[in-house]
Amino acid sequence: MGGINWQQGEALSTGGSALIGVSLTLSVIQILFVIARFYTHSLQHTKCGADDYVMLVAMIGSIAKAVIYVVLVEVAGLGHHVDDLAHPYQNITLTRKGFFALELLDLPLTVTPAKLALLLFYVRIFYVRIFHTRYFQIIPYTIGALVLGLGITVFFQSIFQCNPIESAWDISVYGACVNQITFYHVISPINVLTGLMIVALPIPLVWRLHARRGQKVALTGVFLLSGLGTVASILRMVMYYRISFAQASDVTWFSVKIAMVSIVESAVIIIATCLIEPKSADPLPYEENFIQREVSWSSRPSSLAELEDQRSWILEDEDESPRHHPWVSYEVHITAGI
């Protein structure tokens, strides 16, 4: 395609074919899970939250990444050694253009929104007061600020990594550029750290539940699903640290593995977040199925979705006296089932 004549006599390399397969498969799965997320809200007649719309942005960014990777494999020879290409100059230029766009899409517009959506989901579901402070809201907002700050930093650094800007992809244009490998040596540990913090955030609350140990283990497992994306982040960080100058020069070859991990990282976070979206569930035994809070209802919710609705009511009316609501006990402490 594009006038390229492979010296190997192959249209695609093994790595390129694998990248296309992973990109297309995970794109379809992400779309299905995000559709299911919104469909669940429709079935349960619950409003979509900010986390749902932010997750939609993350999915669009992830799909755009997948499309660019497929184009780079088909047109730019991604997966082949530069020396094996019939037109290396054109291929390198196309590859560098593609990766310029991918740097803008990857962490800033895909991973960052996915992580923010997960944090907003935690805030929406868990609302716990300890010692009369909203500590659980402070922590995710602090982590979210760090995630957002990192995303904004990477976005603008990616745009202005070279002066002039076009020298980032056009090797015929002389310019001064920041070493992107070194830059990712710096930001990758921060990306991994925020991922680990997000994974660990809900675990203490799960183990404060007055529920059977088996239920706590099951809930812990569900929330740890998002940790698979952090595993991919760690793998990508290790790859950046192990890249040599010779490998970096062979851009169409070494980029495939990083591209594969990049696709998996964002896709897993999006899919895992959709998996832990509130869904209808049969109620557990009342004595074992509640989160103790400062206010309590006479009727218990039967699912996370109902818990979310009742939590919203408390947030709107928490300054009002419970005497104004005949169905709320004066002793005001919440019990809610999951």
Task: Report, as an integer, the average pLDDT of 29-55.
Answer: 91
307 and 258 in one domain?
no
Rg (the chain; Cα; Å): 24
pLDDT tens readout for residues 68-96: 999 999 888 888 877 777 777 788 888 88
Instruction: For residue 109, name the pLDDT band (cuts at 50, 70, 90).
Output: very high
The answer to whether residue 139 is domain-embedded is yes
DSSP H/E element including 336: strand 335-336
Instruction: Tell me if 264 is assigned to some domain.
Output: yes
Domain count, the chain: 2
Query: For the chain, what is the mean pLDDT?
Result: 77
Residue 90 lies in a domain: yes
Q: Identify whether 6 is part of a domain.
A: no
Structure tokens belonging to residue 106: 């990857």
Task: Choose the most confident range, by mean pLDDT, from 18-32, 194-208, 268-282.
Answer: 18-32
Q: Is 205 in the same domain as 313?
A: no
Contact 280, 44 (CB under 8 A): yes
Of residues 313 and 134, more confidently modeled: 134
Q: Average the pLDDT over each of 130-139, 175-184, 209-218 and give the range with the smallest value.
A: 130-139
Segments forming the whole domain that contains residue 311: 286-336
The answer to whether 76 and 95 have CB atoms below 8 angstroms apart is yes
pLDDT tier for residue 112 given thresholds of 50, 70 and 90: very high
Confidence of residue 304 (pLDDT cuts 50, 70, 90): low
Last residue of a domain, one of 275, 302, 328: 275
Q: What pLDDT shows up at residue 278? A: 52
For residues 37 and 171, state if they share a domain.
yes
322 and 250 co-located in one domain: no
Please report whether residue 2 resides in a domain. no
Let me know whether 105 and 186 are in one domain. Answer: yes
SS3 state at 292: strand
CATH number at residue 112: 1.20.1070
Q: Are residues 233 and 318 in the same domain?
A: no
In a domain, 3, yes or no: no
Is residue 221 located within the same domain as residue 327?
Answer: no
Handedness of CA 96, 267, 135, 329 (dihedral sign): positive
User: What is the pLDDT, as a whole number, of residue 57?
Assistant: 96
Same domain assignment for residues 114 and 168: yes
Residue 188 sits in the same domain as residue 294 = no
More confident residue, 44 or 295: 44
Other CB atoms within a 10 A radius of the CB of residue 9 amount to: 6
How confident is the model over 233-273, as pLDDT tens digits?
Answer: 999 999 888 876 656 677 778 888 889 999 999 999 899 88
Co-location of 87 and 145 in the same domain: yes
**Is 89 domain-assigned?**
yes
Question: Is 163 strand, coil or helix?
Answer: strand
Domain assignment present for residue 88? The answer is yes
In sequence order, which residues have a C-beta less than 8 Å from that of residue 238 and are 6 or more positions away? none
Is 86 in the same domain as 54?
Answer: yes
**Cβ atoms of 73 and 336 closer than 8 Å:** no
Helix ranges (DSSP H) in the chain: 14-44, 50-71, 88-105, 112-125, 135-159, 180-200, 203-206, 213-224, 227-242, 245-249, 251-275, 304-317
In this prediction, residue 136 carries a pLDDT of 63
Q: Is 218 found in the same domain as 87?
A: yes
Final residue before a domain boundary, out of 249, 275, 301: 275
| Mean pLDDT on 141-151 | 95
Out of 275, 296, 312, a domain closes at 275
Distances (CA, A) of 36 to 30, 52, 83, 282: 10, 11, 45, 19
